Structures are given as C-alpha cells and as structure tokens.
Amino acid sequence: MDDYIPFGAAIVLLAFSPLLERRAKKAIMESIRQSDQQTAAGAVVPVHRTDSFIEGYVSFAIDAVQIVPAILLTAIGLTLAVPHDWAPAIGAVALLATVPVIVGVEAYVLGLDPQLYNSKRLAGYSLFAVISAAVNALCIVSIAILT
C-alpha cells in the first residue's frame, strides 16, 4: 500500500493545479497593474501587456518548470516500488530511460508557443497536468498488477 502513496499524492497535487495557477496569475497581474499605474493616461497598452497574453505565459511557465521534477519523481517512485526480489538493474534502466524522456518533453514544451500551449486545456487543466495525472494513475495500476 505504501508504494501507491507518492503517485496518489502527485495526482492530488495535480488536481489543485488550476487553483494554484489562478493564484499565481492573480499575484503577477496585480504586480503588473501596479506598475501600469505609472503609465501615462490614455497610452496604448501593447498586446504583450494584456491580461490574456500574460496569463498564457504564466500558465506556460508554471508547467515548464514542473516538467523535470514531475517526470523524475514519478520515475523514482516507480523504481522504488519495484519488488525487491527483482534485479536492481531494472531500476537503474528505468531511471536512465527517464533522461531522454525528460529532455524530449522539455524540448517539446519549450518549443511551443506559450499562447498555443495554453489554448490546449481540458476542463481547466493544462495538457501536462492531465498527462502527468494519467501517468501517475498508470503507475498505481502497474504496481497493483506487478506486486
């Protein structure tokens, strides 16, 4: 049962990601609004200073910094959950296989336009949050089957 806890905890944290994202956006937007008070009255606001544009970048940045720890921690959790009577090489191979996955996912996400990335949401959740929750659920099922 203890083997399931890290994956369940990750899913619960991912479930709260829209709330945490809204709080981050609110804090950043408030900071920008305060700096906008120093802008001349009637001045045209450039597109990159609009709320929707900035919110898209915030969502992108939040996911971009989570990629490495989320994938690595899931891989470590899965490695630690492997039955002890299995060969230790299985864990080592799993962790080594994680490196190209991290590099690939990170390169893919960072190669996307932040506004396009933000437009791909499912019920308020980012694509990364949905995939991460699904992978953690798959880990729970895998451990249940293998142990």
Q: Is the model's pLDDT at 15 over the cut of 80?
A: yes
Share of the chain above pLDDT 70, in %: 94
Q: What is the pLDDT of residue 5?
A: 78
Q: For residue 3, what pLDDT band results from cuts at 50, 70 and 90?
A: confident
Q: How far is CA 85 from the centre of its chain?
A: 33
Task: Please indicate, yes or no, whether the overall pTM of this predicted structure exceeds 0.75.
Answer: no
Q: What is the DSSP string of 25-77?
A: HHHHHHHHHHHHTTSPTTPPPPGGGSHHHHHHHHHHHHHHHHHHHHHHHHHHH
Q: For residue 112, what pLDDT band results from cuts at 50, 70 and 90?
A: confident
- List pLDDT tens digits, range 38-71: 666 777 777 777 778 888 888 888 888 888 888 8
| CA–CA separation, 147 and 131 (whole Å) | 24
* Between 104 and 91, residue with greater pLDDT: 104
Q: Is the model's pLDDT at 10 over the cut of 80?
A: yes
Q: What is the pLDDT of residue 40?
A: 66
Position 73, amino acid: L
138 in Cβ contact with 74 (< 8 Å): no
The token duo for 92 is 């080592």
Q: Is 126 helix (H, G, I), strand (E, B) or coil?
A: strand
Q: For residue 142, what pLDDT band results from cuts at 50, 70 and 90?
A: confident
